[in-house]
Amino acid sequence: MRRCAASSASGWNIEALVRSNPSVAAQPDIRVTVDRLLAAEKTLAGTASFQPLQGEQRQQRWRKACVIQGEVTPLDIEVQAYPDSPNLKFRIILIYQRAIWRLDYSEDGTHFNSTNRPNDLGAGPICGPHYHTWEDNRRFSTKSALPHTLRNARNVPSNLRTFENAFRWFCGETRILVLTAEIPCLPTRVSLL
Amino acid sequence: MNALESVAAALLGWPEPRFDGVSVVVPTFCLYPTNAVVNVYVDGAAREFVVHDRGGAIEQFHATLGMEPVPKSLIFGTARRRGVSVAKDGALFVSRVSADELAGAMTLVANASTDVAHHLIDYYRPPPRQVLSAEVEALLDTSFPSQWRKEEVVSGQSTKKHRFDYVVRLDGRQLLIDLVKPDSSSINAAVVSHLDVEQAEPNRFMHRVIYDDREKWPSESLALLRVVAVPIARSAAPQALARLAA
């Protein structure tokens, strides 16, 4: 599958949705595009496996493109694995040019929310696994630029204690339909220490 | 409760150092650009320690822009200014730290890690994963099937012949498209060729330049391009070309 052909976006259904709004068509608003990409039901394209980064087995990634009604979109889902970490540690990221939705699973991770945050969100510190939604961070986006970083986060539900559960949950939250066979297996430890 | 007691109580809520089976994990008061708390890790015995960030700075970059290779050369400068070393895997560290120096070394590594993460996220863009020309050609195939030619030559008012990346024949007009990179030679070449051709036959041509917005573009470069053509970001090219075809 040629990605460049897939991103011939006049064919994207989601782009057609964006263009159907006259005000948006006149001057595309990247926030609206992301809203619509997230709202659309998506599946995953092709096959993938974990690949070490620059031969570095301690950091591995798995990446697939999202498909909307048969058209490959520029939206990717990426899993980052750290098989040698002393505790379960991974990230699941939805990437549209840069991260727009992310789950950080790490016992060590501590996050502190921005002062510019939704009313129902505390400052933190948020200790342990947490997630950054587009909704909580859309406020940092402009019409032409995505948020520089995702500065607001929430604790993950307490029942997410395995990668498989977390992946299913993430896909559910971001409207990605995923089959059990499509859920990747995290790479196993590569060193003894 | 007075102010001092309130502050002390607030600090009690901050995560405490703990041992994770390999290192002592120390949550610091530094924040990464993502607002994640900077952890430093302390390895060693009672007399000599190594303090490091376990690659936290690079992880923040990966968390923001995807797991792409990061040239270590981008890390060295910032790390050196802070006086910390860079390991093969990109982790920042200070070695041979005595117990007396431990607090200072942890502060140093935490701040260096924050600086490096800021530097990477602000300034480094991974090379485009796809060739821009291939993407644009796929878009042209969709929007203008059999109407476009690659690398066609058009004469300018100066009689100089200019080669445009793509020329699309529309009813009575021609759409001239150039792909530009964020360097002065590419920008200047595009400006000169579009300007010269427009002056030869005003209003015969429509001028567009497509730039890759995954790369860092100074606003003045885009402003300069705007003098002679409509700049289109790669991410907006599908809509822009579809509108032209409509």
pLDDT score at A135: 94
State yes or no: pLDDT of A134 exceeds 90: yes
State the first-to-last Cα distance of chain B, in angstroms, to the nearest integer.
Answer: 70
The residue type of A64 is: K
State yes or no: pLDDT of A9 exceeds 80: no
Which of A87, A93, A97 faces B214 most closely, judged by CB atoms?
A97
Nearest CA in chain A to B212: A97
Eight-state DSSP code of residue B128: P
The residue type of B215 is: E
Alpha helices in A7-126 (DSSP H): 13-20, 22-26, 30-39
> Is A153 within 8 Å of B22 when comparing Cβ atoms?
no
Which has the closest alpha carbon to A53: B1, B45, B175, B66?
B66
> What's the token pair of residue A42?
């998506």
Which of A63, A76, A125 faces B37 most closely, judged by CB atoms?
A125
pLDDT score at A24: 40
Which of B23, B89, B141 faces A56 most closely, judged by CB atoms?
B89
pLDDT score at B127: 64
Q: Quick: pLDDT tens for A10-59.
A: 344 444 544 444 444 445 788 888 998 899 998 887 667 787 876 666 78
State yes or no: pLDDT of A147 exceeds 50: yes
ipTM reported for the complex, 2 dp: 0.80
pLDDT score at B115: 93
Q: Quick: pLDDT tens for A58-102.
A: 788 888 888 787 666 778 899 999 988 888 999 999 998 889 999
Nearest CA in chain A to B123: A148
> Is A53 within 8 Å of B69 when comparing Cβ atoms?
yes
Nearest CA in chain B to A130: B36
Distance of CA A29 to the CA centre of its chain: 20
**A 39-68 residues with CB < 8 A to B:** 53-54, 56, 58-59, 61, 63
Query: What are the CB-based long-range contacts (under 8 Å, 24+) for A55-62?
Result: A56/B89, A57/A83, A57/A84, A57/A187, A57/A190, A57/A191, A58/A82, A58/A83, A58/A84, A58/A190, A58/A191, A58/B89, A59/B55, A59/B62, A59/B67, A59/B89, A60/A187, A61/B66, A61/B67, A62/A184
A151 touches chain B (CB under 8 A): yes
Q: Quick: pLDDT tens for B12-60.
A: 888 889 998 889 999 999 999 999 999 999 998 778 899 999 999 999 9
State yes or no: pLDDT of A5 exceeds 60: no
> Is B130 within 8 Å of A3 when comparing Cβ atoms?
yes
Predicted TM-score of the model (pTM): 0.67
* Domains in chain B: ranges and CATH: 3-123 (3.30.1460), 132-245 (3.40.1350.10)
In chain A, residues with a C-beta closer than 8 Å to the C-beta of B235 are 30, 74, 97
Residue ranges with strand state E in chain B: 18-19, 24-31, 37-44, 48-52, 85-86, 92-98, 148-155, 161-169, 174-180, 205-211, 230-233
State yes or no: pLDDT of A161 exceeds 50: yes
**A 154-183 residues with CB < 8 A to B:** none
> What's the token pair of residue B105?
């070394």
pLDDT score at B11: 84
- CA distance linking residue A3 with residue B234, whole number of Å: 14
pLDDT in tens, chain B (246 residues): 788 988 888 888 888 899 988 899 999 999 999 999 999 999 987 788 999 999 999 999 999 988 887 877 788 888 888 889 998 888 999 998 888 889 999 999 999 999 999 999 888 876 655 567 878 888 888 888 888 998 888 988 888 889 999 999 988 889 999 999 888 888 889 999 999 999 888 888 999 999 887 677 777 788 888 888 888 887 778 878 888 887
- CA distance linking residue B222 with residue B203, whole number of Å: 22
> Is A15 within 8 Å of B241 when comparing Cβ atoms?
no
